[in-house]
Amino acid sequence: MKEAKETISFIRDYYERSDFIPLHEPKFRGNERKYVVDTIDSTFVSSVGAYVDKFEDMMASITTAKKAVAVVNGTAGIQVALRLAGVESGDEVITQALTFVATANAVKYNGAEPVFLDVDYETMGLSHTALKSFLEEHCEVRNDKCFNKISGKKISACLPMHTFGFPVKIDKIIHICEEWNIPVVEDAAESLGSYYKGKHTGVFGQLGVFSFNGNKIVTSGGGGAIVTNDEFIGKKAKYLTTTAKISHPYEYIHDELGYNFRMPNLNAALACGQLEALTGFIEEKRELATKYESFFDELGIKFRKEPENSTANYWLMCVELQNKKEREEFLKYTNQEGVMTRPIWRLMYKLEMYKDCFRDHQKNAEFLEDRIVNITSSVK
């Protein structure tokens, strides 16, 4: 395939590498090693330590949230955020089918059922028009709560995901949800450093959740963060994720079902070093995005750019091919030649455990599933 061959040549030239090139690998250029060694020397390598506090302060500052809470991973963060938003067993949560499986899994961990609505073509995230249509056709408000008239279940949250770091039209989603008394929790796992209308993702809704997995724009090896501008909810998030333990010098008293979702100080130290490099990483990735756009334009392939009113972190960059057959040929050739590419996720309702969940027409989601390919997006 001519286009795939030229893409491989471009990527190898850019990274100046002839060996296997992964999709997105971490880079450790600053204080990461120093902070990790400092943590080891302190012996505070587990869930208590100065770097956990520093990480939370840094995340609050970067996102402008009033409170940030370190957690063991993004999935755990979403699970707790949904509980804090009021999701209970037997409820429904509106989300998108075009997402990583953790989004839907976090809903199920609360005993709730996901409702899969279509995405915007432009943002690849939850469509506000699909949301509005679903609510008007299928839902009603009773006693200040939103209910699905067909299933009879309460819709207790809306969970949009900022796909690949491209912000959804979150203000429109929140406006609609406010009319229907539905709390919004942002799955911002992929969008650290992304802004919508000048405001950081994750702080539009009641809560937002970020991921620091090994392949994210910055990493703690494994980790996540819950952010909120509601100080009461923030304190509750910290309490629940640290086993719901009442503060006491030596007694072990737990008065609520909590979670051992604490980020170890060792991971937090790594994260602090990475967060210090975030601005530089984003600048480099945006420069690469500009080069990709020019390159793929000459090839006649659509490079997906940040949506209107957005400043994206370009965590994972992607191209849109003409059809599924072309996508498969591109994926096969590039991976065989040692340059990792991957398709967008399989839609959630095509997975066995979610096949019976409600979904709408999914016109845009199915179109994108057949055509989107992620390409090498690492910083050098």
Percentage of residues in the chain having pLDDT higher than 70? 100
**What is the rounded distance in angstroms from the CA atom of residue 87 to the CA atom of residue 298?**
48
Which domains, ranges and CATH numbers included, belong to the chain? 2-26+278-375 (3.90.1150.10), 32-276 (3.40.640.10)
Q: What is the pLDDT of residue 143?
A: 95
**What is the rounded distance in angstroms from the CA atom of residue 203 to the CA atom of residue 184?**
10
Q: For the sheet containing 92-96, what is the strand order?
A: 113-117, 92-96, 155-158
Average pLDDT, the chain: 97
**What is the rounded distance in angstroms from the CA atom of residue 127 to the CA atom of residue 156?**
18
Q: Any idea what DSSP says for residue 188?
A: -
Kindly write down the DSSP assignment for every residue of 92-124, as one continuous string.
EEEEESSS-HHHHHHHHHTT-EEEEE-B-TTTS
350: CB partners within 8 A, 6+ apart = none
Q: Which of 118, 127, 162, 23 is nearest to 369 (CA)?
A: 118
Ramachandran class of 184: left when φ > 0, alpha when ψ lies in -120 to 50, beta otherwise: beta
Residue 80 has pLDDT above 90, yes or no: yes
Question: Distance of alpha carbon 11 from its chain centroid, rounded?
Answer: 26
**What is the rounded distance in angstroms from the CA atom of residue 187 to the CA atom of residue 120?**
16
What would the pLDDT profile of 102-135 be if each residue is shown by its tens digit? 999 999 999 999 999 999 999 999 999 999 999 9
Residue 92 has pLDDT above 80, yes or no: yes
Q: Any idea what DSSP says for residue 348?
A: G
What would the pLDDT profile of 235-292 be if each residue is shown by its tens digit? 999 999 999 999 898 999 999 999 999 999 999 999 999 999 999 999 999 999 999 9
What would the pLDDT profile of 153-185 be if each residue is shown by its tens digit? 999 999 999 999 999 999 999 999 999 999 999
Tell me the residue type at 165: G
